Amino acid sequence: MSLGLNAAGIRADARRERATLAALTAPAFLILGALLFVPVGWLFWLSIHGDNGYTLENYTRMVVEPAYASVFVTTFELSLLVTALAVLLGYPLSYMIALLPPRAASACLTLVLVPFWTALLVRTYAWLVLLQRHGVVNSLLMNWGLIDQPLALVYNFTGTVIGMLHIMIPFLVLPLYANMRAIDRDYVRAAASLGASPTAAFWRVYLPLSMPGLAAGTVMVFVICLGFYVTPQFLGGGRVTTISMKIQENVATYFDWGAASSLGVVLLVITVAVFWGFSRLLPLRRLTEVSGS
Amino acid sequence: MADENSPPSSRGRGEASSALPITIRGLVRHYGRMVALDGIDLDVAKGEFLTLLGPSGSGKTTLLMILAGFTRPDAGSIRFGDVEMVRTPPHKRNLGVVFQSYALFPHMDVAANVAFPLALRGVNGAERTRRVQTALQLVQLGDLGGRRVDQLSGGQRQRVALARAIVFEPGILLMDEPLSALDKKLREQMQIELRHLHRRLGTTVIYVTHDQREALTLSDRIAVINQGRVQQIDTPQRLYEAPANHFVADFIGDSTFLPVTVANGVARWRDQVLTPAAVPRDGAYQLVLRSEKLMLGGDSRHPNTIDAEVIETVYQGDSVRIDVRLAGGDVVTLRELARGGQAAWPSAGDRVRLTLDPADTLLVPTP
């Protein structure tokens, strides 16, 4: 190998730069390894290892006992409903903010983010105050004569959905807004000039172009919903039992770590599957073949 | 629509029966306190290629956006043919629009982009495929229908945008600086292609640019716009050879100006009598000195000779730019074609004499 002018020195510089990068990222890798992979591995081991050695008992219980099936159904119903409502409310909201001039847009985004500044528990209790039998919402509706009897807005499925929706909307709005902001206005103009009514321009051009942000927001909301604990616990009034509440129950009430960890493993598998499914759909071309086919 | 079966090459100019004339009256648009359009009146003939030329902020793009229906004017009338369009939404105007950004839909391949306006008009199946293919061939991209937009070069994107805008045979085509993103060589090539395409299609075209050479190359007529008003609308040659005012003379061509007074029918710069193409009414004027119209040399027998001192000579390949100072201190630029190999150009400090042909001696009113 013939060495050019300064070749050895230049290679040494490149090596040093790689070493620096590795040193800077090493702590993150170590923390991830220690705090993520080790506990998950231990959880998995707990779920298949009982007092008498290896067992699948924890997993068969989930299939055999109807109580578990209903927990899964409730969790999915809740997550799907909250995700769907978050999309219905969040999409127009993001669209409006994306159309605003930059200064007004950042003011609106701040308002969307304000809930993040308050503790989850505080926000959940705030909904209790608003939604309870003689709370603000029921009192107003009755004063206006819209209802005769107070509505059951809390300590049930409805209250849980309302509370979770409020917490989840920013998770949808942020990625969606970032996506929409990057969509050149000329695309919609071009669609209109080519003969697309506003409705057609939305379905054929704007929605497909905003799909990556929508997909990212949707999967984020859905996955966080799957593992939600605080809000269903406090606003569900014991009528709503999610997977995470069942895990808590198994650990705190029955001291059954095997049952709890097997639920955790199943939840993790479902979450990974959802992510994988979405990422398979996500490539722009595949998601958005809306025309010309 | 012209006869589908006749070969495109036999289509004469303006034959397309779908081409529409445009009539614009009293178009006004304010942005806050700023006046973007200050009462525009414009008539564009059926099949004409009209360019809106002006500096940035002149209102030319606002005018195009209003024609396309993307921006509402405060007042005014726009007619395509006999139909009032000013309150018609963009998707019902049946215009082809080519954007500066091209605005090709990134989630569709080339053929789907071009098929988009056809799909919206209910053209399906073999007919759609055929028309997409015809349009792509017209812009010389016949075999790229399956490509993704991000696999195309800038010039190819430009062509796809053009194909998409003409595939549904609109009577009017609006183009917003469509070539500005291309490099110089490709841009000049596309200019020639656009000319040919326009001849073939016969569509009425309104074209926006700030590039005077592009405007001169492409247009039947040019409307020079400044401060929201049409300064002059004329053929390229008339615009260049007979500018209506100081702005037009300054914006088009490489010009410097000298103050001239006309009194008792005699035009004078300082003490020197000038022989212009036409002597205007008495008053204050500016003599338009175009760098390529000034000639080196001449003697006192010629009209319009001026003595000067060379400040700097710059060799620029195709031509030589010579900056000279006249008596009184005015600095003027002239340009000589670099012909004859090692021709000796005057250098800094040399005394030279300049001559201006009376036909090139233009006076415009002092602004």
Calpha distance A11→A6 (Å, rounded) = 9
Dihedral of CA atoms B260, B266, B270, B272 in degrees, nearest 10, equals 130
The answer to whether the CB of B54 falls within 8 A of the CB of B210 is yes
Find chain B residues with C-beta within 8 A of A182's C-beta. none
pLDDT at A149 over 60: yes
Find chain A residues with C-beta within 8 A of B115's C-beta. 291-292
For residue B130, being part of any structural domain is answered with no
Calpha distance B232→B239 (Å, rounded) = 8
The answer to whether the CB of B309 falls within 8 A of the CB of B350 is yes
Predicted pLDDT of residue B8? 36
**Does one domain contain both B81 and B190?**
yes
- Domain limits of chain A? 60-241
Predicted pLDDT of residue A2? 60
Q: Indicate the DSSP class of residue B199.
A: H
**Does one domain contain both B229 and B273?**
no
Q: Helix crossing, A257-281 with A243-252: angle to 10°?
A: 160
How long a stretch of residues is chain B? Answer: 367
Cα of B352 to nearest chain A Cα, Å: 54
The answer to whether the CB of B69 falls within 8 A of the CB of B93 is yes
For residue B110, being part of any structural domain is answered with no
| DSSP β-ladder status, B229-234 and B221-226 | antiparallel
Average pLDDT, chain B: 90
Residue A60's nearest CA partner among A256, A210, A259, A221 is A259
Instruction: Please report, as a single letter, which amino acid is at residue A265.
Output: V
Predicted pLDDT of residue B12? 42
Find chain B residues with C-beta within 8 A of A198's C-beta. 91
Q: What percent of chain A has pLDDT over 90?
A: 52
- Inspect the interface and report whether the beta carbons of A190 and B93 lie closer than 8 Å: no
Domain boundary among B216, B241, B266: B241
- Inspect the interface and report whether the beta carbons of B168 and A209 lie closer than 8 Å: no
Among the partner residues A197, A201, A291, nearest to B115 by beta-carbon distance:
A291
Residue B221's nearest CA partner among B207, B201, B200 is B207
**Burial class for B352, CB neighbours closer than 10 Å (0-12, 13-18, 19+):** middle
| DSSP β-ladder status, B49-53 and B221-226 | parallel
Strand (E) or helix (H) holding A54 = strand A53-54
Predicted pLDDT of residue A284? 46
**Does one domain contain both B282 and B347?**
yes
**Does one domain contain both B203 and B58?**
yes
Copy the structure tokens of residue A174. 């942020």
Q: Which residues of B sit within 8 Å Cβ distance of A?
A: 68-70, 89-91, 93-97, 99, 101, 103, 105-109, 111-113, 115-117, 119-121, 148, 164-165, 168, 174
**Does one domain contain both B235 and B213?**
yes
User: Into which CATH architecture does domain A60-241 fall?
Assistant: Orthogonal Bundle (1.10)
Collapsing DSSP states into helix, strand and coil, what is residue B324?
A: strand
Dihedral of CA atoms A61, A67, A69, A75 in degrees, nearest 10, equals -120
Calpha distance A167→A152 (Å, rounded) = 21
Domain count, chain B: 2
How long a stretch of residues is chain A? Answer: 293
Q: pLDDT-based confidence at A283, cuts 50/70/90? A: low
Mean pLDDT of all residues in B252-278: 90
For residue B194, being part of any structural domain is answered with yes
For residue B104, being part of any structural domain is answered with no
- Inspect the interface and report whether the beta carbons of A187 and B91 lie closer than 8 Å: no
Q: Domain residues for B285?
A: 254-365
Give the model confidence (pLDDT) of B109-136 as tens digits. Answer: 999 999 999 999 999 999 999 999 999 9
Collapsing DSSP states into helix, strand and coil, what is residue A238?
A: coil
Strands of chain B, DSSP E: 22-31, 34-44, 49-53, 75-80, 83-84, 95-98, 172-176, 204-209, 221-226, 229-234, 255-263, 266-269, 272-274, 283-290, 295-296, 305-315, 319-326, 331-337, 351-355, 362-365
Find chain A residues with C-beta within 8 A of B94's C-beta. 195
- Identify from A179, A187, A193, A214 which residue to disrupt to test chain B contact, counting B C-beta atoms within 10 A and taking the largest count: A193
Cα of A204 to nearest chain B Cα, Å: 9
Q: Where are the alpha helices (DSSP H) in A65-197?
A: 66-99, 102-113, 120-131, 136-143, 157-181, 185-193
Predicted pLDDT of residue B31? 93
Find chain B residues with C-beta within 8 A of A293's C-beta. 112
Kindly give, in sequence order, each residue whose CB lies less than 8 Å from that of residue B82, ignoring residues fewer than 6 positions away.
none
- Inspect the interface and report whether the beta carbons of B94 and A201 lie closer than 8 Å: no
Among the partner residues A192, A195, A205, nearest to B105 by beta-carbon distance:
A205
Site of tokens 């790689």: A18
**Does one domain contain both B219 and B323?**
no
Collapsing DSSP states into helix, strand and coil, what is residue B337?
A: strand
Residue B44's nearest CA partner among B20, B64, B26 is B20
**Does one domain contain both B329 and B260?**
yes
Instruction: Please report, as a single letter, which amino acid is at residue A159.
Output: G
Q: pLDDT-based confidence at A291, cuts 50/70/90? A: very low
The answer to whether the CB of B352 falls within 8 A of the CB of B296 is yes
Domain boundary among B197, B213, B241: B241
Calpha distance B358→B275 (Å, rounded) = 6
**Does one domain contain both B288 and B184?**
no
For residue B100, being part of any structural domain is answered with no
Predicted pLDDT of residue A125? 87
Cα of A101 to nearest chain B Cα, Å: 15
Q: pLDDT-based confidence at B272, cuts 50/70/90? A: confident
Average pLDDT, chain A: 88
CATH number at residue B311: 2.40.50.140
The answer to whether the CB of B177 falls within 8 A of the CB of B54 is no
Where is mean pLDDT largest: A284-288, B107-111, B357-361?
B107-111
For A27-43, b/e burial (b = at least 16 CB within 10 A) is eeeeeeeeeeeeeeeeb
- Inspect the interface and report whether the beta carbons of B99 and A290 lie closer than 8 Å: no
Give Cα B256 to chain centroid, integer Å: 21
Give the model confidence (pLDDT) of B7-43 as tens digits. Answer: 333 334 444 558 999 999 999 999 999 999 999 999 9
Instruction: Give the CA distances from residue B185 to residues A198, B100, B337, in Å, rounded to whole numbers and listed in that order.
Output: 39, 18, 21
Q: pLDDT-based confidence at B365, cuts 50/70/90? A: very high
**Does one domain contain both B258 and B349?**
yes
Dihedral of CA atoms B288, B289, B295, B297 in degrees, nearest 10, equals 100
Give the model confidence (pLDDT) of A209-255 as tens digits. Answer: 999 899 889 999 999 999 999 889 989 888 889 999 999 988 888 88
**Does one domain contain both B259 and B234?**
no
Predicted pLDDT of residue B310? 95
**Does one domain contain both B233 and B259?**
no
Domain boundary among B202, B217, B241: B241
Copy the structure tokens of residue B16. 């397309």
- Inspect the interface and report whether the beta carbons of B103 and A205 lie closer than 8 Å: no
Give the model confidence (pLDDT) of B183-237 as tens digits. Answer: 889 899 999 999 999 999 999 999 999 999 999 999 999 999 999 999 999 999 9
- Note the ipTM here: 0.84
- Identify from A194, A203, A207, A293 which residue to disrupt to test chain B contact, counting B C-beta atoms within 10 A and taking the largest count: A194
Q: What percent of chain A has pLDDT over 70?
A: 95
Among the partner residues B70, B121, B164, nearest to A189 by beta-carbon distance:
B70
